[in-house]
């Protein structure tokens, strides 16, 4: 049983919904628009395209350190590839750093992963044992590129730290975690939408219940006579955040549960779902695209968020509409695929530097550019880390750190400084150049605001 927007009880599935009325309020504000991004000099991953990225974490969700090193996992491809083809050959590599600013490429994680290539996931270290969750994309024995998606895990690896670096010692075993049931989660054969999703496994151990969980992106089946006022075009937009649990706590054994959130009639893709737990609340974050919103709704390539008092919900959209981070209107595709993690009183958000110096209405226009120009306009590295203030169901951007800057909670951040004047060109016509009513803008803090 859920609630209507006025708070009254309504009939429906026993999970939360991102409603059309809520999503209709999406608009850029001073508290949600990130600054325009320029390429880093130098690029720590020169020679590679780097995009979806996640931290190695402990079972309880803290940023893990191995020896003195923190570890990032990223989807990567050779930088000489056309950026639009990188997903066809994606492999997970790891990067390690002592200070969270200078990073070393440790190389590919797997030599024998399932599928034809790997898409996004998460990574857990538990008593030294590594569990690298990923999306096994395609069938290894298919004669051509295929697009099946299976949440999977590789386990059996361990890191070995020394003064010379962080070595990966591995005899990996790989397993598919579960398959869509056709009831709560669409199968590929059931899908009628523009994009089918069953991917992005993300490990989470609930600190309040001790329950071992895995979130993932999926689509939920919608009956022909149900939802969206019977409009078949809108009904195709049926993204959801799925849930699996491990009753034994074993990171390799999972049972499907109903979704915790759906976006039926609103959005087709709720990518890379993950949760930050703080102050007794559960902050659920997803990334989504401008083009995956249903007809009649306008959204952005952005980070969207929801808050609830338990992992199962009921979730309320942050800032009223769900929008947490948006690119400026003058660079609407400059960053994407964000990962949020707690840092003392703030939340830090790591994303990747996507297409910059491009203000088109759709990424489809990228293919109309010359091949050298397509490569020039693709960042293919990590974006500046965003500092996010959060209070109950409101968020605001406090500032940014550098590209590839990933502090641990033990490392202090600079005090917020005076926020620079708002660039009104960053807001689209009709968007509101102010923060949510009654919520302060806060400071604007970057590494250049303090002496090192």
Residues carrying an active site annotation: 52, 271
Torsion of CA 367, 368, 372, 377, to 10 degrees: -70
- Distance, in Å, from the CA atom of 275 to the CA atom of 236, rounded to the nearest integer, reads 26
Q: Tally Cβ neighbours within 10 Å of residue 215.
A: 26
The SS3 of residue 126 is strand
Residue with tokens 């090192």: 452
Task: With CA atoms as reference, report the closest residue to 19 among 181, 218, 234.
Answer: 234
Q: Per-residue b/e over 219-247, b at no fewer than 16 CB within 10 Å?
A: bbbbeeeebbeeeeebbbbbbbbbbbbbe
Provide CB contacts within 8 A for 199, sequence distance 6+.
119, 120, 135, 137, 149, 151, 216, 217
CA R_g for the chain: 21
DSSP 258-303: EEEEE-TTTBS--EEEEEEEETTEEEEEEEE-GGGBPTT----SEE
Distance CA 266, CA 115 (A): 31
Q: How far from 166 is each of 162, 369, 406, CA to CA, in Å?
A: 6, 40, 17
* CA–CA distance, 259 with 262 (Å, rounded to integer): 7
């Amino acid at each position: 049983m859920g609630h209507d927007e006025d708070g009254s009880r309504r009939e429906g599935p026993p999970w939360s919904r991102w409603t059309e009325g809520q999503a209709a309020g999406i608009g850029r504000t001073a508290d949600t628009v990130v600054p325009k991004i320029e390429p880093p000099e130098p690029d720590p991953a020169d020679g590679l395209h780097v995009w979806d990225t996640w931290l190695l974490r402990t079972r309880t969700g803290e940023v893990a350190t191995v020896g003195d090193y923190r570890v990032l996992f990223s989807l990567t491809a050779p930088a000489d590839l056309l950026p639009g083809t990188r997903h066809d050959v994606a492999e997970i590599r790891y990067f390690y750093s002592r200070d969270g600013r200078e990073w070393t490429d440790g190389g590919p994680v797997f030599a024998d992963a399932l599928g034809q290539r790997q898409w996004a996931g998460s990574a857990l270290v538990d008593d030294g044992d590594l569990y690298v969750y990923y999306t096994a994309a395609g069938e290894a024995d298919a004669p051509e590129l295929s697009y099946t998606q299976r949440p999977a895990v590789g386990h059996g690896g361990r890191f070995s730290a020394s003064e010379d670096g962080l070595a990966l010692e591995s005899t990996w075993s790989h397993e598919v975690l579960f398959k869509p049931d056709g009831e709560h989660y669409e199968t590929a054969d059931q899908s009628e939408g523009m994009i089918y999703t069953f991917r992005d496994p993300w490990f989470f151990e609930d600190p309040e219940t001790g329950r071992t969980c895995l979130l993932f992106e999926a689509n939920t089946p919608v009956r022909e006579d149900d939802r969206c006022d019977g409009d078949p075009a809108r009904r195709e937009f049926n993204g959801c955040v799925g849930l699996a649990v491990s009753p034994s706590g074993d990171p390799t054994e999972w049972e499907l549960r109903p979704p915790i959130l759906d976006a039926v009639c609103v959005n087709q893709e709720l990518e890379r779902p993950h949760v930050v737990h703080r102050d007794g609340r559960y902050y659920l974050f997803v990334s989504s695209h401008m083009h995956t919103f249903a007809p009649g709704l306008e959204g952005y390539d952005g980070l969207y968020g929801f808050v609830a008092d338990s992992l199962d919900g009921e979730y309320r959209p942050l800032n009223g509409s769900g929008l947490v981070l948006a690119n400026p209107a003058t660079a609407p595709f400059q960053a994407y695929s964000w990962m949020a993690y707690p840092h003392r009183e703030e939340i830090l958000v790591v994303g990747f530097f996507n297409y910059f110096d491009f203000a088109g209405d759709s990424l489809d226009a990228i293919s109309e550019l010359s091949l050298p120009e397509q490569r020039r306009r693709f960042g293919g590295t990590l974006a500046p880390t965003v500092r996010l203030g959060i209070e109950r169901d409101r968020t605001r951007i406090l500032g940014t750190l550098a590209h590839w800057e990933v502090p641990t909670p033990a490392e202090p951040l600079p005090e917020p400084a005076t926020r620079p004047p708002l660039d009104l060109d960053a807001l689209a016509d009709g968007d509101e150049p102010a923060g949510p009513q009654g919520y302060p803008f806060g400071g604007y803090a970057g590494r250049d605001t303090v002496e090192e």
